[in-house]
Structure 1
Amino acid sequence: MELEYQGIMVWVEQRDGIAKPVSWQLIGQARRLAEKIGAEVFALVQGHQVEHLAQEAIYYGADRAYLVDHPVLKDYRTQPYSVSTLEVIRQVKPEIVLIGATYQGRDLAGAIATHLPTGLTADTTMLDVEPNPSRLLLASRPAFSEKLMATILCKKYKPQMATARPGIFEALPRDESRTGQILRVPFDMKEEEIATKVLQFYQDEERVNLEDAQVIVAGGRGIGGPEGFAVLKELADLLGGVVGASRPCVEQGWIKNTHQVGQTGKTVRPKLYIAVGISGAVQHTIGMTGSDVIVAINKDPNAPIFNVAHYGIVGDWQQVVPELIRVIKAGKPAVAGAGGAAK
């Protein structure tokens, strides 16, 4: 069995022909794991008119991309996606399968693991492999109310499967010089064979997509109450971003849990993360330290958040944030006297 199953396969999640960032993040991590055991990296791309994503998977680190392109796969539905995924896995026989821990990824992973059958470690935050000859996937995730990390192994069955949180791993740089195989996989399911139909998509205006956001303005207990988030939203809107929050704010009902960043919330990797009134507890910082630039605003000069921030402003956020908003609206450089000192 050890020789029968080889390689690491990553499911490329997409919507309307646009890949979710977690797909490239997992291909990057798969590449790192593959180099430790001398394996190849495969990408599984499903959808309709998505051949360009198969090529993108090569650019982001895959050696081979398996393309299942069919009209019934235009929108995600459990039945056609799980059937086609199972067909590819049974044909290719990867030793490891990685899927993003998104709403669709969790749905697909559970469906296919049941039918293979094999084990599935859900919502992992660390992935590693034992060296040859065991080649066991070391899938780790928080356990016992986040008090410890549990590493789970699937010793008896293949493929070894795991879903991983978006934002945890770093994608490799896109490299158009990379070459690889794109293999089309036939799929002949008919629309009338599928029990569910997609009639229409409704956009939830209150829903926030933290994982894909390029700018996040996050508030902590230091903003004092729910009214503070209205000010942070104004700043986020000006920057083309979204609002995040620390766990205490969610627990106190100041904002919905969909905004929570941290170990028990979302792990994010925006280009800019502005932490306002956030002390910097490990539970929160573990979810945002992958940000390209972190700016901290806190009146406590000894707040731990300054240890992970690239730029810090010591001052009252009620003076600093309105000044930032004013400067951005005016299109002018910031001036001294905004209520704090830069660190």
Structure 2
Amino acid sequence: HAILRHLSLRTPKIRVRVVGTNGKGSTAWFLAAALRATGLKVGLYTSPHILRFHERIRIQGREVPDRLLRLAAARVRPYAERYRASWFEAATAIALVCFSKARVDVEILEAGVGGRLDATTAVPADMCLITPIALDHQDWLGESLSAIAREKAYAMRGCAVCLSAPQEPSVRRVLRAFAHGLAFARRWRGPLAARGAFQRINAGLAWAAVERLRALGRIPDRPAAAHRAIARTRVPGRCMRIFYKGAELWLDPAHNAHAARALAKALASAAPLDAAFVYTRADRDPAPIAEVLRRIARRVETSRNPEHAPPRVQAYLGRNPGAKILVCGSFRTVAAMLAAVEDDEGVARR
């Protein structure tokens, strides 16, 4: 709040918060695509990035230009240093400056962790979308689903419209206590380019947001265009298939058991996989993820260092050419693998 007081930000026509445990980025991507298709100028802020910071801030579907990013960073830096802002707080302020200067109609802000103290809730919003809530970041958010739900529910404060994906009963009770007018979205029906049944939950939430905004007269009345945009959207780094040196690699940032179960279901048709490499960050336990993935993979290897994934995977492929494997555990893991194979010949994505 202290930083934002100095920035004289322009208020967009619509600002949307997206919070939850899994599916925040995908939901934000679906909604951004849909609203762009209606003719609105949309700013999208997501995290983390995969290969470079620019991915976090998109205007009309494109990464923020260097010049605008540098200008915004220069504007924010003195205040970030004065108030000793965290890295994410500074990044969020930079995104808001970029959107303000680009004069977007809509800002879609994906929360980092939690909701009550998240930097994305420092600016008022019109709508809050809550994706599936699961056990994650317990050290910060609490040991139970109810405790985590309470932290995330705070993001609904001040929002005229609050929508949620389907939730566990204990989570539903907490969310409804915070917002009596909360509505729950249905799964997406019809074709969807994004892989995995879990993406139907995220797409359904985004579509519910479009329908509510349309009913309120807040967006142009172009439902067919919005629907097509969601159906065609693919989200970078999620359930991504790469053909690399004769092998079939699946990449996904799944970093908790809830996400792993959704991923296992999405890859059921590709099972059994020859191997799954679960490389999480140092502060996470890969064991619950590995336990889930043993249902679809003959071998599961774990580590708490994403940077170790590329050499281990490449060594495995050297011994097992043509293998079918999954690499997951964090966005850093996906980034490390993509960086390792990006310039190699024979790489194809589908």
Alignment TM-score, normalising by the size of structure 1: 0.32
Q: Name the larger-Rg structure.
A: 1
Alignment TM-score, normalising by the size of structure 2: 0.31
The answer to which structure has the higher strand fraction is 1
The answer to which structure has the higher helix fraction is 2
